[in-house]
């Protein structure tokens, strides 16, 4: 089987009759079986179904004709297949409905071959669910691929598939993209289809998209997935084709933020990645100005944890109804139990106030983008972590065991301390989930040891086109995964 640059090249070869979808699917399945015992990126394969679809479906004129695709094992439900969310609660349950997103993917010509690993309910920035085990980074097997879309990142970076679906509720596309040298776009709120079960996704903070190797795959996927979905609570006008495929025709004004939004030290690898991006953009004639974060990053994260707690408690109520029994601590990982219990006591009026704050921060960021085309920051604060780099402290474990006995404020303090060290590794991504802006991780730097570290670009809501235009400049100039 010949090697293809990306999914776009695969689809073109299928349409031209140079290769069949069956051959592509067989090759992807072979690569998964060959590589997965080492990486643990894929937790479910649907070999028979995928090959049957590859043989029988009509792929003519489809933008991703016959291309094999992996879904994330969190949401992205396909009728008749599992979606465990990395939780043993769903291990033996098959989905009875098809998500609008999945229908769109199939309509675009993709052949779904399986599902990728994710931390339980996507709560961590590392992929290590007790149900499926850790996912390793193809660049260094002793390191994690990141999370929560770590399985997807490992699958694409290792070459199992050219593109894999992912989702991002706090950096879950961008973080693993940065750790594995991939492109990771988080689209604007309202850009990607939602439903028919669940339209809000952490009140719009969580968005589906993919991990890719090329800008053209990213752009093409955005073009086929974007919707103006009137039944959704979040509606965004579609990007016109001429917007999506335009080039930058003027010098951009780019704001650069060097510091962490929560005040911790920024590591040398993140600084080097950022400085490389700054130098390149200056060489291309763009204006660079250093600024401070327009919002209080610590307050953003405290608000984020309140949202996460309440949404988790509501989700667990729904699971109890589905299973027709109460949930216990033994049903889930201790971290999940803590988040679940911390959402039980938060008052509705306090949650409403927290969501109102999102609108204020959105306004502040929109005003900032009135002065700057894009904002450039580190994406992660270091190289991918070792698998055992962040063990849970015993004091946190003890507190989580009896978290229901604490007050609301005490519970939120426990949650903060539980995430504190891993948040210091990835403090840059959560803001755009709150504000609904698009952001992209670009793989422009590698350490001397060959470990990727990405940078992040943020744009005003609805301006994915601008992020892709900038990404294309880096790509055309061969700036991906460059060492000093």
Q: Is residue 87 part of a domain?
A: yes
Model confidence at 2, pLDDT cuts 50, 70, 90, reads confident
Query: 23: part of which helix (H) or strand (E)?
Result: helix 21-39
Facing residues of 446 across strands? 452
pLDDT by residue (tens digit) across 368-420? 999 999 999 999 999 999 999 999 999 999 999 999 999 999 999 999 999 99
Q: Is residue 372 part of a domain?
A: no
Q: Is the pLDDT of residue 1 over 80?
A: no
Catalytic site residues? Answer: 72, 148, 172
Predicted confidence at residue 274, as pLDDT, reads 98
Of 426, 421, 373, 451, the closest CA to residue 260 belongs to: 426
**Cα separation of 2 and 277, whole Å?**
33
pLDDT by residue (tens digit) across 247-297? 999 999 999 999 999 999 999 999 999 999 999 999 999 999 999 999 999
Mean pLDDT, range 225-250, rounded to an integer: 96
Strand 68-72 relative to strand 183-186: parallel, antiparallel, unpaired?
A: unpaired
**Cα separation of 312 and 290, whole Å?**
37
223 class by beta-carbon count within 10 Å (0-12 exposed, 13-18 middle, 19+ buried): middle
Half-sphere exposure for 380 (CA within 13 Å, toward CB) = 35
Q: Is residue 430 part of a domain?
A: no
- Range list of β-strands (E), 187-296: 207-212, 253-256, 287-290
Full residue range of the structural domain in which residue 184 is found: 7-250
- Furthest-apart CA pair in the chain: how many Å? 65
Strand 439-446 relative to strand 452-459: parallel, antiparallel, unpaired?
A: antiparallel
pLDDT by residue (tens digit) across 357-378? 999 999 999 999 999 999 999 9
Q: Is residue 413 part of a domain?
A: no
Cα-Cα-Cα-Cα dihedral sign, residues 73, 76, 78, 79: positive
pTM over 0.85: yes
Mean pLDDT, range 112-130, rounded to an integer: 98
**Cα separation of 134 and 121, whole Å?**
15
Model confidence at 12, pLDDT cuts 50, 70, 90, reads very high
Cα-Cα-Cα-Cα dihedral sign, residues 293, 204, 315, 92: negative
Q: Is residue 88 part of a domain?
A: yes
Predicted confidence at residue 484, as pLDDT, reads 78
Q: Is the pLDDT of residue 212 over 80?
A: yes
Of 150, 152, 151, the closest CA to residue 164 belongs to: 152
**Structural domain total, the chain:** 1
Q: Is residue 468 part of a domain?
A: no
**Cα separation of 457 and 104, whole Å?**
27
pLDDT by residue (tens digit) across 325-343? 999 999 999 999 999 999 9
131-137 long-range Cβ contacts below 8 angstroms, 24+ apart: 131/84, 131/86, 131/87, 131/88, 131/91, 132/40, 132/43, 132/73, 132/84, 132/86, 133/40, 134/40, 134/387, 135/39, 135/40, 135/41, 136/38, 136/39, 136/40, 136/387, 137/179, 137/180, 137/384
Tokens of residue 150, six digits: 């770590």
Mean pLDDT, range 455-483, rounded to an integer: 97
Q: Is residue 474 part of a domain?
A: no
pLDDT by residue (tens digit) across 30-84? 999 999 999 999 999 999 999 999 999 999 999 999 999 999 999 999 999 999 9
Q: Running DSSP on this structure, what letter comes out for residue 149?
A: S
Query: 154: part of which helix (H) or strand (E)?
Result: helix 150-158
Q: What's the order of all strands across the beta sheet hosting 207-212?
A: 42-45, 111-116, 68-72, 164-168, 207-212, 183-186, 439-446, 452-459, 374-378, 253-256, 287-290
Residues with Cβ within 8 Å of 39's Cβ and at least 6 positions away in sequence, in order, are: 135, 136, 138, 141, 145, 154, 155, 158
DSSP 323-336: HTS---GGGS-HHH
Predicted confidence at residue 186, as pLDDT, reads 98
Residue 168, φ and ψ in degrees, nearest 5? -140, 105
Q: Is residue 342 part of a domain?
A: no
Mean pLDDT, range 176-190, rounded to an integer: 98
Residues with Cβ within 8 Å of 256's Cβ and at least 6 positions away in sequence, in order, are: 274, 278, 288, 289, 290, 291, 375, 376, 377
**Cα separation of 455 and 436, whole Å?**
19
Domain CATH for 32: 3.90.1300.10
Residues with Cβ within 8 Å of 347's Cβ and at least 6 positions away in sequence, in order, are: none
Percent of the chain with pLDDT over 90: 98
């Amino acid at each position: 089987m010949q090697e293809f640059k990306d999914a776009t090249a695969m689809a073109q070869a299928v349409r031209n009759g140079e290769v069949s979808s069956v051959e592509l699917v067989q090759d992807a399945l072979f690569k998964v079986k060959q590589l997965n015992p080492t990486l643990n990126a894929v937790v479910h394969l649907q070999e028979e179904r995928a090959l049957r679809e590859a043989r029988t479906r009509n792929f003519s004129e489809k933008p991703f004709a016959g291309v094999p695709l992996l879904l994330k094992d969190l949401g992205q439900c396909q009728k008749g297949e599992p979606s465990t969310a990395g939780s043993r609660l769903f291990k033996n349950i098959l989905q009875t409905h098809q998500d609008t997103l999945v229908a769109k993917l199939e309509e675009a010509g993709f052949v779904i071959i399986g599902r990728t690993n994710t931390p339980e309910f996507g709560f961590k920035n590392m992929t290590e669910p007790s149900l499926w085990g850790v996912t390793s980074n193809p660049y260094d097997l002793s390191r994690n691929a990141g999370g929560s879309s770590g399985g997807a990142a490992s699958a694409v970076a290792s070459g199992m598939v050219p593109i894999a679906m992912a989702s991002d509720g706090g950096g879950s596309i961008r973080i693993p993209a940065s750790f594995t040298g991939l492109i990771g776009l988080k689209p604007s709120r309202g850009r990607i289809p939602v439903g028919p079960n669940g339209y809000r996704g952490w009140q719009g903070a969580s968005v589906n998209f993919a991990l890719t190797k090329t800008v053209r795959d990213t752009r093409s996927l955005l073009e086929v997935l974007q919707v103006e979905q009137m039944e959704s609570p979040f509606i965004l006008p579609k990007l016109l084709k001429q917007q999506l495929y335009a080039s930058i025709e003027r010098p951009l004004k780019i704001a650069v933020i060097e510091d962490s939004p929560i005040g911790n030290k920024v590591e040398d690898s993140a600084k080097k990645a950022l400085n490389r991006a700054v130098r390149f953009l200056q060489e291309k004639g763009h204006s660079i100005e250093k600024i401070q974060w327009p919002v209080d990053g610590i307050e953003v994260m405290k608000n984020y944890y309140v949202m996460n707690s309440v949404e988790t408690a509501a989700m667990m109520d729904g699971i109890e109804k589905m299973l027709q029994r109460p949930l216990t601590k033994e049903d889930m990982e201790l971290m999940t139990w803590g988040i679940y219990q911390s959402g039980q006591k938060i008052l509705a009026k306090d949650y409403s106030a927290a969501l109102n704050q999102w609108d204020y921060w959105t306004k502040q960021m929109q005003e900032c983008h009135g002065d700057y085309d894009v904002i450039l920051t580190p994406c992660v604060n270091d190289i991918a972590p070792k698998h055992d780099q962040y063990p849970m402290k015993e004091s946190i474990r003890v507190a989580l065991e009896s978290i229901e006995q604490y007050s609301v404020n005490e519970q939120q303090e426990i949650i903060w301390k539980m995430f504190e060290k891993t948040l210091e590794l990835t403090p840059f991504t959560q803001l755009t989930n709150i504000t609904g802006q698009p952001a992209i991780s670009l793989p422009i730097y590698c350490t001397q040891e060959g470990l990727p570290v990405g940078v992040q670009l943020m744009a005003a809501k609805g301006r994915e086109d601008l992020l892709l235009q900038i990404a294309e400049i880096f790509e055309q100039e061969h700036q991906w995964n460059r060492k000093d």
